[in-house]
Amino acid sequence: MPKDLEEKPGRTVGRRELLKLSPLLLFGAFALPKFQPGLLKGGLDFSDRASAQWHRKNHLAPTFADAELTPFDQFPLNSYDIDDPDVDLTKWTLTVDGDVHRAGEYTLARIQALPKFTQNTRHICVEGWDVIGRFGGVRLSDFLELVGANTQARFLYFDCADGYYESLDMESALHPQSMLCYEMYDRPLTREHGAPLRLLLPIKIGYKSAKYLTSFRVTDVLAKAGYWEDQGYSSYYGL
């Protein structure tokens, strides 16, 4: 399970938790050991499909006033491996390939030239804690338009400087609150929080918001779903 600085009590059980309690998933948990992996995977796949059916592209995650923000120094660090993979910020580019018209290397300055978008949203960790932060960057949909992405493709796949990897369904990528984040609390993203660029997805569980992005691909086929997903976590996990 992802490591964190602290763990807070869980919130009231909601739709996303109930979906994971599908009959197939429950049956799999109590099945004979040799049958458990397949049955549990079947239950999780069912949960992901049900979550995707509930997705509404214009349904927004809650936003908050500045007075409700968690202080920056109390925003937990949550890293897959290390808090700073020592990215050379002066030479960094985002590599874009796959089903796009304008593949290539995109500098942070080129990304920042797109319309800036800022939002105060809740970040929810799979371990049970949540915080409200202020995030700035560009809408992922605007960047997809810039690179000429085929938005009929099914997925985006991301690699990160620390070895982490993640994927995102296209419909969620086009959601108006899904962003490429380069600022927190009106300041450049710090190394510990994913500099120079990270995903920020308030409609998804926290582990989907990958840090230290180095590349992404637009594709219909995923060889890998995501670091935690490939260890049995939900691939969709909408909130």
- Does any domain span residue 63? yes
- Does any domain span residue 211? yes
- Does any domain span residue 1? no
- Does any domain span residue 136? yes
pTM of the model: 0.79
- Does any domain span residue 158? yes
Q: Which domain holds residue 220?
A: 15-231
The closest of 152, 120, 117 to 136, measured between CA atoms, is: 117
- Does any domain span residue 10? no
The closest of 225, 84, 211 to 156, measured between CA atoms, is: 225
pLDDT digits (tens, 9 = 90+) for 117-174: 999 999 999 988 999 999 999 999 999 999 999 999 999 999 999 999 999 999 999 9
Q: Give the integer Cα–Cα distance in Å for 98 and 220.
A: 9
22-26, 124-128, 209-213: least confidently modelled range: 22-26
- Does any domain span residue 2? no
Structural domain tally of the chain? 1
Contacts (Cβ under 8 Å, ≥6 apart) of 164: 80, 81, 210, 211, 212, 227
Residue 129 belongs to a domain with what CATH number? 3.90.420.10
- Does any domain span residue 239? no
Mean pLDDT within 224-237: 90
**Is the pLDDT confidence value at 9 over 70?**
no
